[in-house]
Amino acid sequence: MEDLYHSKLKNNTYDAIVIGSGLGGLTAATLFAKSKKKVLVLEKHYEPGGFTHTFKRKGYVWDVGVHYVGQMNKENAMMRKVFDYVTEGQLQWTSMGDVYDKAIIDGDEYSFVCGMENQIQEFVQHFPEEEEAIRKYYKIVGSMGTATAMFFGERSMPNFISKWFGGLLRRKFNSYSDKTTYEVLSGLTKNEKLISALCAQCGNYGLPPQQSSFAMQAMIAEHYLDGGNYPAGGSAEIHKTILKTFKTNGGELALKAEVDHILIKKGKAIGVKLTNGDELFAPIIISNAGASNTFKKLIPSTEKLPAAFLKKIQETKASVAHICLYVGLNKSDEELQLPKHNIWLYNSYEFDKNFREFIQKPESSPPLAYISFPSAKDPRWAEEHPNKATIQVICAASYEWVKQWENTRWQKRGADYEAFKERLKEHLQDKLYQVMPQVKGHIAWSEISTPLSTKYFCNHPQGEIYGLEHTPARFRIRELRVHTPIKNLYMTGQDLVTVGVGGALFSGVLTASSILKKNYLWNALRYKVKE
């Protein structure tokens, strides 16, 4: 297997070791490599890329985490420029069209379309008496950019600088992040249907309006204002193109290399110890393993972390887990008339009530199903996989549903677990048939994943997909920053910024910029793709 770990690597010297090959870790590592630093990325899984990787069954391919990305259709957008910089222009994107999301709530249909004014008009058509509230909402969404940049930029500062200026940089963002989505929206309108419709994409961060931080809702809404995009060739092209740049610049990747703990001497991180006993050393250790794994598992218990910080990490819950049905069809997207846009299918407008009740009833029909059509989005699919199509149907889940099987082996968890999965599959297939009845009789392959799959492959303790949950309290944890309480140990990844491709990408930029004291955003803005 290419890039499989071998013990000879422990004899090498490195400028930095990165734990985890998810997007944040790969981005930071690539920027280090482009700066002529010798970097090693260690990955537990046999596939790199974290949630950007794909998997195959019987000639079908599905993404596991990247279903669409905003801001890629504008060549001068900051996020697009960063991707061009770390992939050296090799990653290609395709637009999902004018309509990129559709929400169906209790039979009512709402489209999410490209352009702020177009989106405003779409909601005004449904709620003409609420135009003022809708415009106020999108004005707030459009004003969050500078506050967001200042807030997360502050997290890259050394602690002593943050003590002087941090409060000022965080102030505006926290004025929104301290409130729930429902608190802000109910201050603009009393129309409960409109509030739910505006929040129909809340599954992108995993919390309903009464629990989520409004800042997270605003960031998601702003991110997709210009539409959704998909990587040509599938989501794996994200890590493949970044890895190409990384390796071209001398970086090394080691798969099946699970870190047992971080080696710390006299309060400084000096290396890592793998589960096979090998020790590797570097003066810089970057963790892309998430806040919970980093501070609860990878740092030895003999090291004393600030009690207040540990308390915050322990009290902040993991984000929601998920169930995913992967469907392979024996006809093409064109033949089956499958759309590029995603579908958010809700039973009713009572998002919070339904979410609470469903999490307590693992075998009930989900009140929300997110339906994605990856093969329809990918312009290369039809040529590479003729007469085939793929669909994914996703719903929220609790790790408690599957905890009884957590000590069993993957693919050998027993008949009762398989029966549990089969019941879940039936519910999600019913949701699919509700909106796409034409696929009946054309399913050639289907299987379902649970939070145990996420825990096994991605090493997330509760099978969570979005790191720490995006509540108001999460954005008050000031210690979630590049510089950790352990000298020479640094953080990157979605817990440093937020959920999603953009959050992970920019976390890597913040981490590399802070450690190496280079403005990589400026480098990215000046970068020009070679024709």
Question: How does residue 1 score in pLDDT terms, banded at 50, 70 and 90?
Answer: low
pLDDT at 531 over 70: no
Contact of 43 with 253, CB cutoff 8 Å: yes
The pLDDT mean for the chain works out to: 95
Residues 415 and 517 placed together within one structural domain of the fold:
no
* SS3 per residue for 266-310: CCEEEEEEECCCCEEECCCEEECCCHHHHHHHHCCCCCCCCHHHH
Residues 334 and 272 placed together within one structural domain of the fold:
no
Distance CA 55, CA 158 (A): 40
pLDDT in tens, 409-422: 888 899 999 999 99
* Contacts (Cβ under 8 Å, ≥6 apart) of 319: 205, 206, 207, 464, 465, 466, 467, 468, 469, 470, 499
Within a domain: 24:
yes
Residues 358 and 405 placed together within one structural domain of the fold:
yes
Helix (H, G, I), strand (E, B) or coil at 330: coil
Q: Does an H or E element contain 353, and which?
A: helix 351-359
* Angle formed by the axes of helices 116-126 and 131-154, nearest 10°: 140
pLDDT at 423 over 80: yes
Query: How confident is the model at residue 257, as a pLDDT?
Result: 97
**For residues 327, 110, 500 and 59, what is the CA-based torsion angle, rounded to 10 degrees?**
20
Helix (H, G, I), strand (E, B) or coil at 400: helix
Residues 127 and 207 placed together within one structural domain of the fold:
yes
pLDDT in tens, 210-236: 999 999 999 999 999 999 999 999 999
pLDDT in tens, 487-510: 999 999 999 999 999 999 999 999
Distance CA 299, CA 302 (A): 8
Within a domain: 32:
yes
Rg (CA), the chain: 22
Residues 299 and 334 placed together within one structural domain of the fold:
no
Residue where the block lists tokens 């050296």: 88
Q: Does an H or E element contain 99, and which?
A: strand 99-105
Contact of 351 with 196, CB cutoff 8 Å: yes
Residues 357 and 449 placed together within one structural domain of the fold:
yes
pLDDT at 158 over 90: no
Question: How does residue 60 score in pLDDT terms, banded at 50, 70 and 90?
Answer: very high
Residue 375 has which token pair? 């093969």
Q: Averaged over 48-71, what is the pLDDT?
A: 93
Residue 9 CA to its chain's centroid (Å): 30
Contact of 111 with 122, CB cutoff 8 Å: yes
In this prediction the pTM is 0.95
Among the three residues 190, 225, 260, which one is the final residue of a domain in this structure? 225
Among the three residues 225, 256, 280, which one is the final residue of a domain in this structure? 225
Contact of 110 with 126, CB cutoff 8 Å: yes
Residue 195 CA to its chain's centroid (Å): 24
Residue 327 has which token pair? 């469907």
Residue where the block lists tokens 């990878």: 298
Within a domain: 79:
no
Query: How confident is the model at residue 162, as a pLDDT?
Result: 81
> Any idea what the Cα angle at residue 142 is, between residues 141 and 148, rounded to 5°?
75
- What CATH number is given to the structural domain containing 37? 3.50.50.60
Within a domain: 73:
no
Residues 152 and 213 placed together within one structural domain of the fold:
yes
Residue 245 has which token pair? 């740049």
The full length of the chain comes to: 531
Residues 380 and 333 placed together within one structural domain of the fold:
yes
pLDDT in tens, 277-311: 999 999 999 999 999 999 999 999 889 888 888 88
User: How many domains does one find in the chain?
Assistant: 3
Residues 245 and 131 placed together within one structural domain of the fold:
no
Amino acid letter, residue 89: G
Query: How confident is the model at residue 319, as a pLDDT?
Result: 93
Positive or negative: CA dihedral 94, 98, 104, 105: positive
Amino acid letter, residue 33: A
Among the three residues 201, 225, 249, which one is the final residue of a domain in this structure? 225
The conformational region for residue 3 under phi > 0 = left, psi -120 to 50 = alpha, else beta, is left
Within a domain: 386:
yes
Residues 409 and 334 placed together within one structural domain of the fold:
yes
Residues 309 and 388 placed together within one structural domain of the fold:
no
Residue 231 has which token pair? 């990587």
- C-alpha dist (Å) from residue 506 to 150, 156, 232, 366, 521: 13, 11, 21, 33, 9
Question: How does residue 457 score in pLDDT terms, banded at 50, 70 and 90?
Answer: confident
**End-to-end alpha-carbon separation of the chain, Å?**
34
Within a domain: 25:
yes
Distance CA 89, CA 52 (A): 18
Range of the domain at 48: 7-53+232-316+477-526
- What CATH number is given to the structural domain containing 447? 3.90.660
Question: Of 140, 160, 217, 200, which Cα lies nearest the Cα of 475?
Answer: 217
Sheet containing 259-265: give its strands across: 259-265, 268-274, 279-281
Residues 380 and 493 placed together within one structural domain of the fold:
no
Amino acid letter, residue 41: V
Within a domain: 354:
yes
Within a domain: 279:
yes
How do strand 108-113 and strand 99-105 relate by DSSP bridges?
antiparallel
Higher pLDDT among residues 62 and 166, named by residue: 62
pLDDT in tens, 359-410: 998 878 999 999 999 999 999 999 999 999 999 999 999 999 999 999 998 8
Question: Of 525, 411, 403, which Cα lies nearest the Cα of 457?
Answer: 411
